Structure 1
Amino acid sequence: TRARLQGALSSTFAGTNRLESAWDAGQLAVDTLPDLRAKIANGFLEHGAVVLAMRMMAGILDPITLRDRVTSMAASLMGDQRAIDLLDWLLEEYGEDSPTRVNLGLHWLALDEPEKASTAVAKGLGKAEDSPEVALRLAYFEQVLGRLGAAEDRLASLVQNADEVGADDWLGEALTQWGNLAFQGNHWDKAVDLFTEVIALRPQDTYAHYALASARYGQGDLAAARKGYERALILDPGFAGAHQGLEALDAVARANVTH
């Protein structure tokens, strides 16, 4: 029986690549021989039928493990419609959940579908599509996808809107994310300007003081960097990044003395 079922599956996969027929044959196989399920799932994967593979694996994986597997597989298919199909199936099969719905937004953005991305993120966050939360998340996703110019455009727009309506909290968040973006591109002068603005809004923001110090370090202004790290540690003595920054400055100072 095992050989006959495996033969039927192999011929279905190898023949006309009729995946629905393969699914029917696979269901028959696992009804008779459950231990074939993983092999059949791998067969679907080899043929690019990722949703059918996960449907087959659903019979042997618990929901949490399956969700992790699907999310990981979708990430490996970034920019491929099959990633959308996987996440849509997960939501349909196991019900609505915020992280998966928001993640769907990232994948729509990767497919250059900004409106669908905005809709997915808004639904996942439970916010309006024109809300600052959605704008920040989409800007972050642009950054994840390596589209730094698009991310900067979104953040610049959010900063302008937040400034116009006096929404200082969102202004601070947008400036911080924009500053982090400047770091990613090694644009130290821009990062200094942005984190200086954050500190003007939030004088007690430990991260902003640390980030400004790191930007000063990037500029080569080591004295200003040291003051910034020390300020961050006054606000939060346990802030690891500031300790590491001071250690790096000490190492530079020792190297200069040695040479």
Structure 2
Amino acid sequence: MSQVPPQKWYENGQTIPDLSTRMGYYESGLKKGEEFHSWAWKGIGDTRHVQGDLVGAEAAYREACDLSPTNADLQLKLGIAQHDLDQLPEAITTLKKAIKLAPNNPVVWYCLGLAQHDNGNLADATFSYQKATTLDPGLATAWYSLGDARGEQGDLAGAMDAYERAVAIDPDLAFAWTNLGDARADAGDLERAIAAYEHALIADPNLAPAWFGLGLTYEDQNHFREAFFCYNRAGQLGDEEGKKLAEIFKTKNIQPLRPTFLRQKESQ
């Protein structure tokens, strides 16, 4: 009976639901021929990552990369594990290796951008995110992250453009809607800011930053009762600043009022 090829063997392991059993399956691959070893370490890394053992996952992916140094997917997995461990310079170095091996892979460029962004390299992150969106214009998370990077560099118009592209691709991307609302509010476009926050809260009714941003925008419009409701909801969801502002409104004998979009939704 012919032996299953290494890649197919690895893929079969991904279908094993019990993680302990899956780990044993991949560990058994280290006792097979050398052609299985990098696939076995990859599977061990994947399983450790799912189990929350980031240190162990990083070590396993490193073993796999040492055995197959020209495999871009292994370099990507190692870079992601290093990023998750907050080993940002190492992650950037590893992901740049992956870029050299797979220069047209948008996910690698996006992950490199995330590591650069978290390391404070905003110009580099912006370039990487732009490269990712050029290679895959439908990668919503890359547009969202590009919006963040642009906004942090003071490019408000560029940030709004990127967020709008992100939510056009994925209307359920609640954080992108929230950040779009923040950017529109900063630009003085309060009505469209409110619309963005409402979209965010339709996608995720428990998103505290969206409730807080909506409260600020209502207060800027002197809609104090709606603002009070939003601050109170943000506070209930753990936003300390929202909680403080709600307490201030309580002292003013203002009654909270549910925002229009909620009242309309409830009447349907």
Of structures 1 and 2, the larger Rg is shown by: 1
TM-score (norm 1): 0.49
